Amino acid sequence: MKAVERFRQTRETEVRLRLDLAGGEVRVKSPVGFLKHMLEILAYHAGWGLDLEAQGDVEVDAHHTVEDTGIVLGEALEEALEERQGIFRYGEATVPMEEALAQAVVDLARRPFFRFEGRFPREKVGDFDLELIPEFLKALAMHGRFTLHVRLFYGENAHHMAEAVFKALAYALRQALSPAGKEPRSTKGLL
């Protein structure tokens, strides 16, 4: 695995990042404060180094910035994994955050798929639309070329619920990326 840099610019957004799966400093700059918080949690608990700067048309809403950030982070993850040899491949984590409980399950075998089950008790945390969390996760999984299932079992505080989702994802990815010999974890011999 190698550190990678990615850049995406559209008429609506500009996202630049450096991702190091081996670790390092976490620095996130985004006009979407709640996304910034969730990305810091993800990188910290996954054990990644992440330097990310995003700008976007947040005067419209946060959708483009959130989705494009997921796209760029997914592309960086795909590139950093190279041939995906020597990693465990699968990861699962169920994480509580006080009254909230969430689970993430991943398979890093270049078969992009995303499923999200669960509901938040309200539509927003501050001015952040919670429906953007599945949008971010879908963009991450599709562009990172991996399978991701997320279940939000329950909770009362929407902030806690979102945080449980991102922490569960972080620990599932951390497990999937853990060393597991030199060969790909597949009977096909290739991921």
List the domain boundaries for the chain: 4-176
Residue 189 CB: number of other CB atoms within 10 A? 7
Mean pLDDT (the chain) is 94
pLDDT score, position 186: 53
71 within 8 A of 143, measured Cβ to Cβ: yes
pLDDT single digits (tens) 149-176: 999 999 999 999 999 999 999 999 999 9
CA distance 156 to 18: 35
Q: Give the model's pLDDT for residue 83.
A: 84
Residue 187 has pLDDT above 70, yes or no: no
Span 4-176: which CATH code?
A: 3.30.230.40
Beta strand residue intervals within the chain, DSSP E: 4-9, 13-20, 26-29, 49-56, 90-97, 100-107, 113-117, 124-125, 128-129, 147-154
Task: At 26, list the tokens.
Answer: 């976490």
The pair of structure tokens assigned to 149 is 């299932």
pLDDT tens-digit readout, 83-142:
888 899 999 999 999 999 999 999 999 999 999 999 999 999 999 999 999 999 999 999
pTM: 0.93
